[in-house]
Amino acid sequence: MVTGGAGFIGSNLCEHLLEHDNKVICLDNFSTGRTQNIQHLFGNPNFKLIVGDIRNLADCHKAAAGVDYILHEAALGSVPRSINDPIMSNDVNVSGFLNMLVAARDAKVKKFVYAASSSTYGDSETLPKEEETIGRPLSPYAVTKYINELYADIFYRTYGLNTIGLRYFNVFGRKQDTNGAYAAVIPKFVMKLMQHESPLINGDGSYSRDFTYIDNVIQMNVLAILTENPEAVNTVYNTACGDRTTLKELVNYLKFFLSKYDSKIANVQLVYGPNRIGDIPHSLANIDKAKLLLGYDPQFSVQQGLSEAVKWYWENLK
């Protein structure tokens, strides 16, 4: 079962799992998920959609019944959104998460794999980020994702529920939302450039992130489901490329790949603005733990992923 299965990461997971002959239940309330992300799956006899809300325990129990594995992707993302509405972020990301843990426990699922976040590293200045060293959270969103890790650990130690947390680092790729105030930076930049408009870079462009292509994230989720190594469960893993790219470099990569489709994009100028509240300057993951315990081997570099993502956006949104 995939919670948030109509969202960006969730819909890609549903698609991949169905392609590999799994039966998949998708739970989504469509607050941020989109029908078009999963519409092509509706005719698949192995796919079942349950329209429900993780804040409703009955919906969680209904979706988890008879399930072997849960991939919990449902959440309200975005640091700015959590700053604007911390209560809503807490309701979904903490109360909803707890409901799903209870449902997973009661359904006796074999493993509960959940979307954790690199925001958990907070004000820790250590680079690269290693799973065992975190700082103080810098936003309500980061607080909620850290609480998820604490609850997952408690449910293992108290109820024996096997969990794995995947600390996502700036995931991007096909189906990522391009609209709204809280659209992620890459699709937002792509849409601006395709319209020959200057993307706004927060700060001077020197802030850096470990941007991670969606197929690397899918690989991590599958490895987390499949692992039978007892040392590999009931812990958290960085889910990233292990490489960092500045925002200025990112936009220049996007301009380069997009200009193959429209040469005018190469001449679009960049615009710089103030830094965002709650943003950390740099993010870079150490992925050695995932390589050692899960056999993780990211197949897409940032540049390869951006090339694939740009191709998808051009073909689907132009």
- Report the catalytic residues: 141
Amino acid at 27: L
Q: Tell me, what DSSP letter sits at residue 305?
A: H
Burial class (CB in 10 A: 0-12, 13-18, 19+), 318: exposed
- CA-to-CA distance for 313 and 202, rounded, in angstroms? 23
Number of residues in the chain: 318
Q: With beta carbons less than 8 A apart as the criterion, state whether 10 and 26 touch.
A: yes
- CA-to-CA distance for 69 and 58, rounded, in angstroms? 18
Q: With beta carbons less than 8 A apart as the criterion, state whether 232 and 292 touch.
A: no
Q: With beta carbons less than 8 A apart as the criterion, state whether 173 and 305 touch.
A: yes
What number of H helices and E strands is found in the chain? 11, 13
- CA-to-CA distance for 45 and 23, rounded, in angstroms? 8
- CA-to-CA distance for 274 and 179, rounded, in angstroms? 21
Q: With beta carbons less than 8 A apart as the criterion, state whether 71 and 1 touch.
A: yes
User: By C-alpha distance, which of 131, 127, 140, 142 is closest to 83?
Assistant: 140
